[in-house]
Amino acid sequence: MKHHSITYTPRAEVSFSRDELLLMMECSTNHYDGRCKDMSQESDFRGYPGLIRGMLNQIDHGFLDPHTLSFRELDTLAKVVEVGQYMEKDKAVRAFGLGFAIKRVLIELNESAVEPKVITP
């Protein structure tokens, strides 16, 4: 083995309200894509809940700290809420706004990405 370097991936700290998480749960449950559906599942084969359900469980148990999410996780959440356009008007508008907010964070993550930091072994 040859060790080349250590790289870092930027992550974003975000908070969602309970209403936003419930909307994402509904979008996820009704999504056509398996990865998006998995975000609302009660547990996977290891017993861990999907990302949205996990965040909702934390809020329901009084943990209100921000969540640190990767670009991929936020990108999947943006995809999840896209199906909101097929819901009743009020939910569709909220889903669109939430998707827009998530995409703004994705843009910030892209803009904050700098040349990978390298620690020489």
Taking only the tens place, the pLDDT of each residue in 72-96 is 999 999 999 999 999 999 999 999 9
49 touches 57 (CB < 8 A): yes
99 touches 79 (CB < 8 A): no
Higher pLDDT, 83 or 62: 83
Using one digit for the tens of pLDDT, what is the confidence trace for 23-56?
999 999 999 998 999 999 887 667 778 999 999 9
Which tokens belong to 70? 């990767």
* The amino acid at 107: I
Which tokens belong to 83? 């199906």
pTM: 0.84
